[in-house]
Amino acid sequence: MPYEFKFPDVGEGIHEGEIVKWFVKEGDKIKADEPLGEIETDKAIVEMPSPKSGKILKLNVQAGGIIHVGETMVTILEEHETEADAKKHMEAKEKKDVPYTGSVVGFLEEAKDVKPIPTIKKETKTITTTSQTSIQATPAVRNLAKQLNVDLSGIRGAGPEGRITIEDVQKAASSVKKDESAGIKITKKYDFFGYVDRVPLHGVKKAVANKMAESIFTAVQLTNMHEADVSELAALREKEKAAYEKEGVKLTFMPYIVKAAALCLKEHPYLNASLEGEEIVLKKYYNIGIAVDTEDGLIVPVVKGADAKDIKAIAKDIDKLANDARSRKINLMDLKGSSFSISNLGSVGVEFFTPIINYPESAILGVGRIIEKPVVKSGKIEIRKMLPLSLTYDHRIVDGAQAARFMMDLMERLQLCEFE
């Protein structure tokens, strides 16, 4: 019996995927673990390895088509099977797919008299004029058509004697256009105030929208805001940056923040937790999700075991994960298992903000743009580099004082450059 490779349930709320492209065609031979094609979920674009060696009997979904969990993607004739097995399978499949159209034995439905439908000859008229002066439209209709960039000569009016109405112009403006640059179908319509574009919500953006709605309507969210003096940390980063670059590692402030946060979470377990029914689950692993802005939407890859890694290892992880996320080539396992998340809007000029918890986590840290500010230190005014930090937490799990203590410890580690 040929093997039917079905779209597996990979978890994380993924129910369907889109076939981006096939690397094989029907009739091709393939080895186990060789890539069959690429499939896009709301998390990433991933390659599908073949589970069997054999011959591609049928591609059940065309490139660009949608496949749901449990549906057959590819039918493979395994190496030990024959063409006779394939033929038998396909015949059985065809019989199974044909709906039953028979009647009850011994019962014949009496045919009713059916009158033939008369053939209607359409009278054709030749229209020889297309000039603007011959178009039946009021000045108001002409003005609206000009605003909407609608060609009146291509409209057959629904008004008396073929007069073009405002409704005719609005209907003509409701055309479907193809955005060639993005490859997205956009429905262009006119409402009471003017043009509007309607872009389908799908893929990553739809997943993020659903996730954010679930978070904001479930967790009781509160945000504390602080500023950390990172003048010494900036000097340390500047000192170490050249050595990291020689090894091809991009050193930003983020690896230091990830490491410091992971160490602080060990001292403040309720910030590294989730609520399940009547129990608070305190997690003993410290996996930090890093929010990455991509063209398709927000993706949160995970730095696993951040508490046990050094700055260089974390920097390498962040760089690779971010690149994989932006190219949509990330492994699905790299998107799972976060216990705490960090969102950085400092790179786009934001100072303080209220990040939304990556539910069901109990907290998320927002990182802002480092700004030089006058600060009183030892009785003197100095210009210091200050890092805005915003901590949003689930007040069902974390008290305000617990959140404040976590932030004080985090700021101290960043200020003193303590990452051990």
With a cut of 70, say whether residue 127 has pLDDT above it: no
Task: At 411, list the tokens.
Answer: 């700021």
Considering only the top CATH level, what class is 3-93?
Answer: mainly beta
The confidence score (pLDDT) of residue 43 equals 63
Provide mean pLDDT across the span 157-170: 81
Q: How do the domains of the chain map onto residue ranges? A: 3-93, 135-198, 204-416
What is the crossing angle of helices 139-148 and 166-173, to 10°?
A: 10
- Cα–Cα distance for residue pair 140/145, rounded to 1 Å: 9
With a cut of 70, say whether residue 34 has pLDDT above it: yes
Q: Are 175 and 154 in contact (CB under 8 A)?
A: no
How far, rounded to the nearest angstrom, does the alpha carbon of residue 393 sit from its chain's CA centroid?
24
Q: Specify the range with the lowest mean pLDDT, choosing from 208-217, 339-348, 397-406.
A: 208-217
pLDDT category, 259, cuts 50, 70, 90?
very high
pLDDT category, 158, cuts 50, 70, 90?
confident
The confidence score (pLDDT) of residue 151 equals 81
Counting beta carbons within 10 angstroms of the beta carbon of residue 96, is it exposed (0 to 12), middle (13 to 18) or buried (19 or more)? exposed
The confidence score (pLDDT) of residue 383 equals 96
- Cα–Cα distance for residue pair 151/158, rounded to 1 Å: 16
- Cα–Cα distance for residue pair 41/332, rounded to 1 Å: 10
Task: At 180, list the tokens.
Answer: 């060639």
Q: Which of 36, 40, 43, 41 is nearest to 60 (CA)?
A: 36
How far, rounded to the nearest angstrom, does the alpha carbon of residue 109 sit from its chain's CA centroid?
54
The confidence score (pLDDT) of residue 94 equals 60
Pick the most confident of 20-24, 131-135, 201-205, 266-270: 266-270
pTM above 0.75, yes or no: no
Eight-class DSSP state of 164: B
Query: What is the rounded end-to-end Cα distance, in angstroms, of the chain?
Result: 58
Q: What is the mean pLDDT of the chain?
A: 84
369: number of CA atoms within 13 Å, CB side? Answer: 9
Higher pLDDT, 156 or 183: 156
Look at the domain 204-416 and name its fold.
Chloramphenicol Acetyltransferase (3.30.559)
**What residue spans of 155-278 are helical by DSSP H?**
166-173, 203-218, 231-246, 254-267
The confidence score (pLDDT) of residue 197 equals 83
The confidence score (pLDDT) of residue 104 equals 39
Q: Of all helices (H) and strands (E), which one includes residue 372?
A: strand 371-377
- Cα–Cα distance for residue pair 182/304, rounded to 1 Å: 34
With a cut of 70, say whether residue 10 has pLDDT above it: no
Provide mean pLDDT across the span 338-351: 95
**What residue spans of 4-133 are helical by DSSP H?**
83-97
SS3 (DSSP) at 406: helix
Look at the domain 135-198 and name its fold.
Dihydrolipoamide Transferase (4.10.320)
Radius of gyration of the chain, Cα coordinates, nearest whole angstrom: 31
Q: What would the pLDDT profile of 189-227 be if each residue is shown by its tens digit?
A: 777 788 888 888 777 788 888 889 999 999 999 999 999
Q: Specify the range with the lowest mean pLDDT, choosing from 40-49, 177-186, 330-339, 368-377.
A: 177-186
Pick the most confident of 38-52, 80-94, 290-304: 290-304
With a cut of 70, say whether residue 236 has pLDDT above it: yes
With a cut of 90, say whether residue 362 has pLDDT above it: yes
Q: Of all helices (H) and strands (E), which one includes residue 55?
A: strand 54-59
SS3 (DSSP) at 261: helix
pLDDT category, 418, cuts 50, 70, 90?
very high
Provide mean pLDDT across the span 157-165: 82
Provide mean pLDDT across the span 224-235: 97
Provide mean pLDDT across the span 42-61: 85
pLDDT category, 303, cuts 50, 70, 90?
very high
Q: Please confirm, yes or no, whether 80 is among the known catalytic residues.
A: no
With a cut of 90, say whether residue 63 has pLDDT above it: no
- Cα–Cα distance for residue pair 311/261, rounded to 1 Å: 12
With a cut of 70, say whether residue 117 has pLDDT above it: no
CA angle 53, 59, 64 (to 5 degrees): 130
- Cα–Cα distance for residue pair 362/283, rounded to 1 Å: 11
Higher pLDDT, 285 or 331: 285
With a cut of 80, say whether residue 105 has pLDDT above it: no
With a cut of 60, say whether residue 95 has pLDDT above it: no
CA angle 368, 371, 374 (to 5 degrees): 135
With a cut of 60, say whether residue 168 has pLDDT above it: yes
- Cα–Cα distance for residue pair 418/311, rounded to 1 Å: 11
What is the crossing angle of helices 231-246 and 311-326, to 10°?
A: 70
Write down the catalytic residue from 68, 80, 202, 395.
395
Q: Specify the range with the lowest mean pLDDT, choosing from 9-23, 273-287, 380-394.
A: 9-23
Percentage with pLDDT > 70 across the chain: 83
Asked if the domains at 3-93 and 204-416 fall in one CATH topology, the answer is no
Q: Are 284 and 308 in contact (CB under 8 A)?
A: no
Eight-class DSSP state of 357: P
pLDDT category, 28, cuts 50, 70, 90?
very high
With a cut of 50, say whether residue 114 has pLDDT above it: no
